[in-house]
Structure 1
Amino acid sequence: MMNSDIRTGLAVCGLDCTRCADYENGEIKSLSARLADLLRGYERVASLKSVNNPLFNEYPIFLEFLQHFAQGACGGCRSDNLRCPIECHANTCHRQHGVDFCFECNEYPCDKQFEGKTREKWLERNNRMKEIGVENYYLEKSKLPRY
């Protein structure tokens, strides 16, 4: 039986929500919050360093990005707190068809899901899950960068 954490973390389309930069319980959020905490008060040092390295003039912008990542607020595609910018038909379709993942649907691959390169990646993800199983797919992908 599939681990419920894996099912919760993987979107219906096969993307791994847990490794997304916006995921509320993800490693990116956790590490960003930790780094922001470690850098608290570094603005003064960045100002001093900017004399010899103009890159440090952009430190406030870096902090804005870091704070954004530290506030990951998306609960993932299966949650009520979905904030994914990717429009995904599968997010509602899977309920109608009673499946956890697209590849499990009798209509897979349908024409409703994605176009172009995004569609190719969707097919690749779902075909791989079908081939090796969802848990093995999750373990395989968890070792790779999300982006």
Structure 2
Amino acid sequence: MSNYEKAVKELAPCGNDCSRCANYEGSKIVLLSKELNENLENFEKMVEKIKEFMPIFNHYEEFLAILRHFSNGNCHGCRFSDKSEHQCSINKCHKKEKVNFCFECSKYPCKPTTYNESLTKIWRENNDTIKKSGIDDFYIALKEKSRY
């Protein structure tokens, strides 16, 4: 699979990396959370014994709630999702314009109607970078930097 094909599979049309999102079904965050959740099975019995001298464990239930939330990531990525929260103006537009990424569109740069100023800036930086350096270089560089 070429980097372009990987990029289409893993990146949203705006250029954000869906594959490393905390809600993406195959992200490390989801997979490691599931593994940790499994490995902590029945640990609450231990918590009862140690929380008296390790008070941090008084918050164990709150920790588990967050861990379970991360474990339940089930998004297929913005491009492939039919969930309403993933149907931003860009996701609809790329389908209408029949392009994989915004920079490929003859109307780029436009103004995403559902993005705030901060998201618009990131969207523009992503697509300007892809247009300048190519999807291969962008994809490789994106994988080397922190998602958040």
TM-score (norm 2): 0.88
Whether 1:137 and 2:141 are equivalent positions in the alignment is no
* Partner-residue secondary structure (3-state), 1:24: coil
Between the aligned partners of 1:129 and 1:82, the Cα distance in structure 2 is 27
Between the aligned partners of 1:122 and 1:80, the Cα distance in structure 2 is 19
Deviation at 1:105, TM superposition (A): 1.1
* Partner-residue secondary structure (3-state), 1:78: helix
Partner of 2:95: 95
Deviates more, 1:6-15 or 1:134-143: 134-143
Query: Structure 1 regions of 5+ residues with no counterpart?
Result: none
RMSD of equivalent CA atoms = 1.8
Identify if the C-alpha distance between structure 1 residues 82 and 140 changes in structure 2 by more than 3 Å, giving closer, same or farther: farther
Partner of 2:110: 110
What's the % identity of the aligned pairs?
A: 36
Between the aligned partners of 2:134 and 2:67, the Cα distance in structure 1 is 35
Between the aligned partners of 2:20 and 2:132, the Cα distance in structure 1 is 22
8 A Cα contact 2:3 2:139, kept in partner: no
Between the aligned partners of 1:145 and 1:96, the Cα distance in structure 2 is 31
8 A Cα contact 1:75 1:82, kept in partner: no
Whether 1:50 and 2:67 are equivalent positions in the alignment is no
8 A Cα contact 1:76 1:82, kept in partner: no
Identify if the C-alpha distance between structure 1 residues 124 and 42 changes in structure 2 by more than 3 Å, giving closer, same or farther: same
Amino acid at match of 1:121: I
TM-score (norm 1): 0.89
Matches within 5 A, 1:1-147: 2-82=3-83, 85=85, 88-113=88-113, 114-147=115-148
Identify if the C-alpha distance between structure 1 residues 10 and 74 changes in structure 2 by more than 3 Å, giving closer, same or farther: same
Between the aligned partners of 2:98 and 2:123, the Cα distance in structure 1 is 19
8 A Cα contact 1:129 1:137, kept in partner: yes
Between the aligned partners of 1:55 and 1:86, the Cα distance in structure 2 is 37
Deviation at 1:135, TM superposition (A): 2.2
Between the aligned partners of 1:111 and 1:6, the Cα distance in structure 2 is 23
Amino acid at match of 2:42: G
Deviation at 1:129, TM superposition (A): 1.1
* Partner-residue secondary structure (3-state), 2:47: helix
8 A Cα contact 1:50 1:56, kept in partner: yes
Query: Structure 2 regions of 5+ residues with no counterpart?
Result: none
Deviation at 1:35, TM superposition (A): 0.9
